[in-house]
Chains A and B, each alone.
Chain A
Amino acid sequence: MPAMSFSRRRVLQMLAAIPATAAFARQLHADPAAPAPLRLVLLMQNNGTQQANFWPDASLSSPILDSLFKDPTTKLDNGLKAKTNIVKGVYVPPDANGTDANQHDMGFARMFTGAKLASQGGQPWGGATSVDQILAQAWSVDSLTLAVLASQTEPAPKPGFDHRESFCYLGPATLKHPRTDPLSVYEYLFPSASGPAVTPDQVKLRQSVLDAVAGNLTEVSARLGPSEKTKLDYRLTAIRDVERRLTASACSPQPAAPPNYLAMNPNAEVNVDTYITQLVDNMIDLAVTSLRCGFTRIATLQFGYGGGKWRFAWEGINMNCHDDVAHHDTSDAGSSAVNTNRVVLMNQYYASCVAKLATALDAVPEGGGTMLDNTLVVWANEQGRGDHNQENVPIVLIGRAGGAIAKGGRVIDAGRQPFNRLGCTILNALGQKTAGFGDLPDCGSFQGLL
C-alpha cells in the first residue's frame, strides 16, 4: 500500500483546523474587568542543595540565593526578593510503604503527590494525583508539562527507574509524560505557524468527528467506576486543550520559534549535554509564553531525571554530578572545598533558571501588578543534601498567588515539618481549600505564610 502521510507537521495542521468552542473563546477573551486567573508553576531539581551555602542571612542573601535575587549582568537586585518566601525545615520521611525506593524516588515521586509510593513490582511510582493535576482538573485546563532530560551520562533511566521521567501524576502510578522538544511544544502552542490553511469544510468534518468521539466517550464513561472514569475525564480535558490551541495566533507578541535541535542532532535531547542550557532556556520561554497567552494556567519544568547525572560542563565541572559530586556532599557544612564549590555552582545554575522564569512573569503587567502577583512559582528539590539526606529540603515560593501570600522577603522557619504541607499550601493558596495533603490529611499549610 502507498506510504501513509503522517508526521508531526500533519498533527499540527490537523490541530490548526479544529474550531475553538465558545467556552474556550470565553476563557481566552475574558472580561478585562474580571480578576486575573491564578496560576501555578512547579520547578523541580534533583540531587539536593548545599546547605551551608543555601540558607540566607537576614537580608536573604546567600551564595546560592544571590543567583536568584540578582541580575546576572548588573548584579543588582532583580526585585524578586520581596515576592519570595523560603521555607525551612521541610523533610521527606522514609516511606513506610516503600521497601523499593531510595531518597531520589521519595523526593521525586512524593513531593507533589503527598502520598505513599505506589510500589509496582519493585518500581516506586507516585501514589496519587500530583498537585498540578489536581488543580488542572479543578480548573479544567491541561497543564504544560516540560522537562529537559538530555544527559550524556544517563541518556535514559535504567530498567525499573522509568518513574524518574516525571514528577507529575494523573493518578496512582499514572505518569504524565513531559514534553522534551521545544520546537514541538512551540508548534503545539502556535499551530498557525506551520502548515497550510485548512478549509471550512475540513473544519466542519473534524468537528463532527470530535462530536461523535465525545459522544462515545460519554457513553462508555457512564459504565465506569470513579477511578476508571477519571481516565476518560483526562482525555476529554486533553481534547478541549487541543481545541484551545486554535486561537494561539491571537496571542501577541508571538515569540520566535526555538531551534530544531533534532535536525541538528537526532540525539540532542537524549545523550548530548551540549544543548542542555539552551533547552532549559527555551522551555522557560515556552512556559512563560504559555501562561502569558492564556494557553494554560499550570506549567511544570523538570531539570533532568530524578537522581539525574548532568555533568555541568557549562559551570566548569564536567563530571557525573550525581555520583561524583552530590554524593560527596556529606555534611551540611560541605566536604572538600572543591566539591562543596561544585555543589554550589550546580545550585547557582538552578537558581538562575528560576530567576529567569520569575522575572519574566514579573515583567508582564496584569491588573494593578504583574503576572507574578497572580502566580505561585514553586522551586523544589528531591533531597535536602546530595548524599540522600532528606532533611531541610529547600522550598522556595515566589509570587503572591493573587494575594493569598501577602508578604515576601522571609524565611519561614517553623521547625521540622513534613513535606505534605507544600501540597497543602499550594492548594490553599490557589483557592482549593484543604486541611491536608496526601497521606497527612490534617498537616495544614506552612505556618505564617498564607
Chain B
Amino acid sequence: MGRGRTTVVAAFLLLAACTGVIGDAAPGVDAAAPVASAATASSVPIRRLRRLSNREYNNVVRDLLGDTTQPANLFIPDSYSNGYDNGSAGLAVQSDQVASYQAAGEALAAAAVSNNMNLLLGGCDVTRQGQAACLESMLATFAPRAYRRPLTTTEAARLRDAFQVGAQTTGGFDAGVQTVLEVILQSPQFLYREELGPPVTVSGSVPAAGTDVRMTDYEVASELSFLLTGSIPDAPLWSAVQRGQFHQLADYRREATRLLATPGARDAMRAFLHEWMATDRLVSLTKDATFYPSFSPAMAASMHAELDAFFDDILWSGSGSLQELFTSNRSFADPTLATLYGVKAVGSGLQPVTLDPVLRRGILSRAGYLAVHSDVDSSGPIARGVFALQSILCTPPPPPPANVPPATPANDPTVQKLTTRQRFGEHVASSFCATCHTAIDGVGFGFEEFDGIGAYRTSENGLPVDSSGTILGTGEISTALTRASELAPKVAASRHLAGCYLRQAYRYAMGDIEPAGGGVLDALEASFSPDTRITDALLSMVSTSMFVTRVSETPSP
C-alpha cells in the first residue's frame, strides 16, 4: 500500500541514462523543489519515520557501541507489513517496546561507560582536556553518529541538561555521560530513521503539503547503508557525507559499490533473501514429533545455516543471478543435512556438497525452504503452491469463496491410508474448487516428493507418491511437470520471476508496497532479466529519484 500521493517520478537507471539524473543539481539547490523531470507515473512515499527493526537495532548497537549482545532479541517481534522486517507502516511503538527500549538503553549505556568511554567521548582525554570539553566532544562526535545527522541546538541543549542531572545526582562525570547515552538510545532520533528532508527549504519556507522534498544527504546516506548493510553509515560513508562528497548520483554509486563489498552487505542480503523466501522462520519452526521425530531446533539451525551459505555462494562466489539462485544444485551440508539429503558427509560443520540435479535444483528444493512451507504434520501442497504463485511469481490465486466444501479430515479412517495428494484430490475433482485449486495444487503437488521437513520420499502411507503437477496462468512457463525440479529452470528463466523479484526488492528497499500500475518498476524491469545480478536491482533502486524523494503530508494541527 503506497501511502504517498501519485506523482511523477523519473526512473534514473544505472543501465539506461535519462535526463534529470540525481545530482545534476548543484549542492544548495532548493531542497523542496521537485527532483523529477520526466516520467513515469509512480508513487513517492510520504515524509516519514521508519523505526529500526529488531535486526537493525542489533546491528546499530554493534556498529555504534561495539555491543554484540543483541538486546533486540528480547523485544516483541516485528510485523512484516511490507513482507519484510523494515516496513514503515508496521513499525509503531507500543508500551511493551517502550519498556524494552528503556531497559536495553540503560544496560547498553552502563556497559559502554564501563568499557568504551573513549569511543563515547570521541577520543577526548578528560584528565587533560577537562570534563566540559569532553562532554562537548561527545555531542560533536558520538551523538551525531547515533542520530545519523548533526544535532539541532535544542537537541544538544537537552543532552547537556541530562548530563547535569546525571552528574549531580550520582556525583560524577561518568554518570552524566551514562545519562546522556540513555537519552540518546531512547530518543526517536536514534530509534527512527528520518526521511523528512530539511526543516525548511533554502528559500526559508516550510515544505508545503503535497510538495516533493528531497531528503538530506545525511538521510540518503542512512537509506543507503540500511538498505545495503542493515545498519548505520560506516566510517567512510559518514566521512564522505560530512565532507560534502555524498550528493551526486556518482557518489551514491561509488558508496553503494563499496558497501556491497563489506561484511555488512553479506548479512543484509542474507536477511533480505531469507525474508523473501520466509526462511527466516526457521529459527522458531516446530514440527509435530509424531510425524517428524528427527526434526529438532538443531536441524532447523542447520537448515538456516545451509541457506546462509547457499545465498553467499550464489551472490559472492557465483554469478549472483536469480537464474542461479533458482537452479543451482551446489549447496552445503553438515552431517544432519547430509543424512536428510542422502549425500556423503565429508566432515563436521557445513561442507560444500553437490545435490542430485534430478531432485534438487535451486532454492525451492532446499530442505529449509520446504520445511517452512509445510504443515506441522504433513507436506502442505496448498501452502507451497500459494507461496510460489504469490511470492515467487507474483501471480496470486484468488481467495477461496464462502461456504467451502470440506476436504476429508486427516484422521478420517477412509483417508488415513491415502497420500496427502489423494486426500486433497477433492480440490480439483470438484468444479466448485477446481477453478482456483487447479492452479494452486498444480504447483504444490509438484513438491509432493518432499515431506514436511524437505526429505525426499517415494511413498507415503505405503502408497507411491505422485509429484506430477502443472503450472498455469503464468504465461510462457505454463506447462505440465513430473516433479518440482522441472519447475526450476522454467521459473528461473521467467519474466514473471524477474518482475516479482523487482517488486520484492522495492518492498525491502522502500519499506512499503509498490504503487499499483507499475510506473518506475516497469522501467526498471525493462533492464532486468533473470541473469542479471540480484544486487543490481537494489543498485537500480538507489539510482531512482524515488529513493531520495518524499512528499509532504498536510501539516498536523
Footprint of B on A, CB under 8 Å? 1-8, 10-11, 14-15, 94, 98-103, 105, 118-123, 125, 142, 152-156, 158-160, 162, 170-177, 179, 188, 201, 204-206, 208-209, 212-213, 215-217, 219-221, 223-229, 231-232, 234-235, 237-239, 241-242, 267, 270-271, 319-320, 323-325, 327-328, 330, 387-390
Q: Are A174 and B90 in contact (CB under 8 A)?
A: yes
Residues of B within 8 A of A98 (CB): 399
Within 8 Å of chain A (Cβ to Cβ): is B377?
A: yes
Interface string of B96-114 (1 = CB under 8 A from A): 1111101110111001001
Residues of A within 8 A of B553 (CB): 224-228
Pick from B115, B375, B406: contact of A1, CB below 8 A.
B115
CA distance A241 to B114 in the complex (A): 31
Within 8 Å of chain A (Cβ to Cβ): is B473?
A: no
Q: Are A238 and B281 in contact (CB under 8 A)?
A: no
Tell me the minimal C-beta distance from A385 to chain B in angstroms.
Answer: 8
If A4-B107, A234-B93 touch, whether A205 touches B165 (CB-CB below 8 Å) is yes
Pick from B103, B179, B398: contact of A6, CB below 8 A.
B103
Within 8 Å of chain A (Cβ to Cβ): is B159?
A: yes
Q: Are B95 and A238 in contact (CB under 8 A)?
A: yes
Interface string of B176-208 (1 = CB under 8 A from A): 000100110011110010101001000000000
CA distance A237 to B179 in the complex (A): 23
Q: Are A156 and B284 in contact (CB under 8 A)?
A: yes
Complex interface residues of chain B between 113 and 161 (CB less than 8 A to chain A): 114-116, 152, 154-155, 158-159, 161
Pick from B115, B188, B278: contact of A159, CB below 8 A.
B278
CA distance A162 to B183 in the complex (A): 33
Q: Are B406 and A216 in contact (CB under 8 A)?
A: no
Q: Are A122 and B390 in contact (CB under 8 A)?
A: yes
5 nearest interchain CB pairs? A225-B553, A324-B409, A159-B278, A238-B95, A208-B165
Tell me the minimal C-beta distance from A323 to chain B in angstroms.
Answer: 7
Q: What would 23 A/B residue contacts be, using CB atoms closer than 8 Å?
A: A4-B71, A5-B107, A6-B69, A10-B107, A15-B99, A99-B396, A102-B399, A118-B1, A142-B95, A152-B288, A156-B281, A156-B284, A170-B92, A170-B94, A173-B1, A204-B169, A217-B188, A225-B46, A235-B92, A235-B93, A241-B95, A323-B407, A330-B405
Footprint of A on B, CB under 8 Å? 1, 3, 46-49, 51, 66-69, 71, 74, 76-77, 79-83, 87, 89-100, 102-104, 106-108, 111, 114-116, 152, 154-155, 158-159, 161-162, 165-166, 169-170, 175, 179, 182-183, 186-189, 192, 194, 196, 199, 209, 278, 281, 284, 286, 288, 372-373, 375-377, 383, 386-387, 390-391, 396, 398-407, 409-412, 503, 507, 513, 552-556
Q: Are B155 and A239 in contact (CB under 8 A)?
A: no
Q: Are A225 and B103 in contact (CB under 8 A)?
A: no
CA distance A105 to B400 in the complex (A): 11
Q: Are B409 and A319 in contact (CB under 8 A)?
A: yes
Q: Are B154 and A219 in contact (CB under 8 A)?
A: yes
If A4-B69, A224-B47, A323-B409 touch, whether A209 touches B186 (CB-CB below 8 Å) is yes
Tell me the minimal C-beta distance from B284 to chain A in angstroms.
Answer: 7
Most chain A beta-carbon neighbours within 10 Å: one of B103, B111, B166, B412: B103
Q: Are B89 and A162 in contact (CB under 8 A)?
A: no
Tell me the minimal C-beta distance from A315 to chain B in angstroms.
Answer: 16
Nearest B residue to A384 via CB reads B402
If A8-B74, A154-B376, A327-B407 touch, whether A1 touches B49 (CB-CB below 8 Å) is no
Tell me the minimal C-beta distance from A17 to chain B in angstroms.
Answer: 10
Q: Are B399 and A101 in contact (CB under 8 A)?
A: yes
Q: Are A1 and B66 in contact (CB under 8 A)?
A: yes
Most chain A beta-carbon neighbours within 10 Å: one of B92, B114, B554: B92
